[in-house]
Amino acid sequence: MIPKTPFQYQLWIDGNEVPSVSGKKFERKSPAHGTVVGEYALADGADVDVAVRAAREAFDKGAWPHTSGAERMKVLLKARDFILQQKEQLALIETLESGKPISQARDEVDWTADLWQYAASLCRNIHGDTYNTLGDSMFGLVVREPIGVVGMVTPWNFPLLIVSQKLPFALAAGCTCVVKPSELTSGTTLRLGKILADAGLPDGAVNIVSGFGNPAGARLSSHPEVDMMSFTGSTNVGKGVISAARENVKKVELELGGKNPQIIFADADLPAAADAAVFGICFNQGECCNSGSRLIVQRPVVEEFVNKLIDLVRQVPVGDPLDEKNKIGAIASEAQYAKILGHIEEGQKAGARLRLGGKSLPILSGQFIEPTIFDSVSADMAIARQEIFGPVLSVLAFDTAEEAIEIANDTDYGLSASIWTRDFDTALLTSRRIRAGTIWVNTFLEGYPELPFGGFKESGLGREVGRFAIEEFTELKTIQFHLGKKTSWWARAHENLP
């Protein structure tokens, strides 16, 4: 149900809800319903400075970096419990702000809670190394320490989930953080501030500012007191984060775009592959960096497979995301809506064959687009190369595995890919040659907290989730101990002189 009055949010800084320095606010309208659903404090550079100062103080003088792994674990586990307790309201906020179906928003809260639980398990497993082979007089230690203050900028497509691929892992390492969520979907992230305080996190360890990329996100990226930036969003903006980070040579972790292929060999389980292809393009309205937006199908089964896809997609209900039966909701913003329709128009002009969809849908007062399928697509077309971030599928044909691999790798991205075949050799050989961070075989778009996530090429830097994720938020330090009597270098240099 749409609330009668919009949800109200303040900034979360140093353990308190506070207005912006300027006192200004901004609104968010539901992309499905056209009504105002949230009102937020508008942060600018001054607010970011205050938030960074709180995080800096909490790291340099506060308790969190020195808290034992066991105590950090208890806080993260309590946060997980509180997230689940607030599941219905968090899911409602996500649906109202993003336009995604309510059932998917509930799933997202469950996945989020699982990430906090897994990150909690890592709190007691940070370790370094020892070196006892440096000679009798030397002993070496290598330790991991928290990197410091981490700035995080997160996107609008999975707001609660994506901040939870970063924040609990940084906290597990002992870092303090400043988070700037997307201005389109700030609500659930701002709610995390109070959840973490109730879970026992010290004041200042997490600070959350709502506002626009310019100036708030830009100031955070270039801030001299921020030791690391973790960003999820478009590749172009990610390049801007890298540029801004040079101000103090801060570490950068990026999860960026994708143009992810699903390769369908003729011997595949075609009904299962078709279901995965529909899921891959309809899930979250296609607004997903892992969206399976390129379908690379072996030529003997192309026509059969596309016809099967069309039949399935026609059965996927599109409409009010608050209606439990709908699987596709509204496009998140007017800009994204226009961008998707522009790509559809470009695809037709380029000569791709429109087999299904291609139009906007007059539903409620929102921004809805039909799931769209193109075939007869060539690898040089924009719809086969550029990230559309909408429910638009491009179908390309191939003859040999070598050709499929070449097409799959022929983009600037390398986030994920899927391979469908009954032949073990084909699956493994193809998996090893595709340059992407995640390869699924006979499945698609499944994820687990234990498995790292990130991309090759322009899809990003570093990895999130999994046991390696916590290492992203640490620095290695070498400590050397001299044992026994120390001889001066002058004495050593002259000990053999007459």
Give domain status of residue 459, yes or no: no
| Residue-wise pLDDT tens digits, 217-248 | 999 999 999 999 999 999 999 999 999 999 89
Q: What number is the average pLDDT over the span 183-207?
A: 98
| Eight-class DSSP state of 213 | I
| Residue 1 counted as domain residue | no
The verdict on residue 493 lying in a domain is no
In the predicted structure, residue 498 carries a pLDDT above the cut 60: no
Task: Give pLDDT tens digits for 452-463.
Answer: 999 999 999 999
Regarding whether 400 and 473 lie in a shared domain, the answer is no
State how far the Cα of 116 lies from the Cα of 206, in Å rounded to an integer: 15
DSSP at 232: E
Spatial separation of the C-alpha atoms in residues 457 and 115, rounded to whole Å: 26
Q: Helix or strand or coil: residue 485?
A: coil
Q: Mean of the pLDDT values across residues 159-167?
A: 98
Q: Determine the average pLDDT of the residues in 464-468.
A: 95
Average pLDDT over residues 408-423: 98
Sheet holding 138-146, edge to edge: 129-131, 138-146, 474-482
319 and 413 together in one domain: yes
Task: Give the pLDDT band of residue 141 (cuts 50, 70, 90).
Answer: very high
431 shares its domain with 366: yes
Tokens 């493994």 belong to residue:
428
pLDDT recorded at residue 1: 78
CATH number of the domain at 321, please: 3.40.309.10
Number of domains in the chain: 2
Cα angle 212-218-222, degrees, rounded to a multiple of 5: 155
Q: Domain for residue 419, yes or no?
A: yes
The torsion angles phi and psi of 320, rounded to 5 degrees, stand at: -50, 115
In this structure, is residue 487 part of a structural domain? no
Last residue of a domain, one of 394, 423, 441: 441
Contacts with 27 (C-beta within 8 Å, 6 or more apart), sequence order: 6, 36, 38, 39, 40
Residues 6+ apart with CB under 8 A from 414: 258, 435, 436, 437, 455, 456, 457, 458, 459
Q: Are residues 241 and 265 in the same domain?
A: no
Is 285 domain-assigned? yes
pTM of the model: 0.96
How far is the C-alpha of 292 from the C-alpha of 387, rounded, in Å? 11
pLDDT-derived band at 496, boundaries 50, 70, 90 = low
Same domain, 87 and 228: yes
Other Cβ atoms closer than 10 A to 441: 16
Geometric angle at alpha carbon 236, from 234 and 238, rounded to 5° = 70
| Residue 483 pLDDT greater than 80, yes or no | yes
pLDDT at 492 over 70: no
pLDDT band of residue 437 (cuts 50, 70, 90) is: very high
Is 423 inside any structural domain?
yes
Residue 495 has pLDDT above 70, yes or no: no
Read off the pLDDT band of 16 (50, 70, 90): very high
The predicted-structure confidence for 71-88, as pLDDT tens digits, reads as follows: 999 999 999 999 999 999
> Both 343 and 231 in a single domain?
no
Distance CA 287, CA 275 (A): 18
Residue 450 tokens read as 């234990």
Give pLDDT, residue 487: 77
Residues 266 and 189 in one domain: no
In a shared domain, residues 339 and 473: no
Of the pLDDT bands very low, low, confident and very high (cuts 50, 70, 90), residue 489 is confident
Q: In this structure, are residues 58 and 152 in contact, taking their beta carbons and an 8 Å threshold?
A: no
Asked if residue 457 is part of any domain, the answer here is: no
Q: Could you give the percent of the chain with pLDDT greater than 90?
A: 96
Residues 273 and 199 reside in one and the same domain: no
189 and 270 share a domain? no
Cα gap 228→453, rounded to integer Å: 19
DSSP per position, 9-43: E-EEETTEEE--TT--EEEEE-TTT-SEEEEEE-B
Helix locations, 164-269, DSSP H: 167-173, 187-199, 218-222, 235-245
Catalytically annotated residues? 255, 289
- Whether the Cβ atoms of residue 69 and residue 124 lie closer than 8 Å to each other: yes
Beta-ladder partners of 254:
231, 461
pLDDT (0 to 100) of residue 428: 97
Indicate if the pLDDT at residue 126 is higher than 60: yes
375-383 long-range CB contacts below 8 Å, 24 or more apart? 375/302, 375/306, 376/351, 376/352, 377/347, 377/352, 378/351, 378/352, 379/407, 379/410, 381/347, 381/350, 381/351, 381/352, 382/343, 382/346, 382/347, 382/350, 383/343, 383/346, 383/347, 383/350, 383/352
Q: What is the CATH number of the domain that holds 183?
A: 3.40.605.10
**273 and 237 in one domain?**
no
Predicted local confidence at residue 497, as pLDDT: 58
Residue type, 455: G
Give the domain range for residue 172.
7-255+468-478
Judgement on whether residues 232 and 289 belong to the same structural domain of the protein? no
- Number of C-beta neighbours around residue 4 at 10 A: 5
Mean pLDDT of 259-277: 98
What's the rounded mean pLDDT across residues 451-477?
Answer: 96
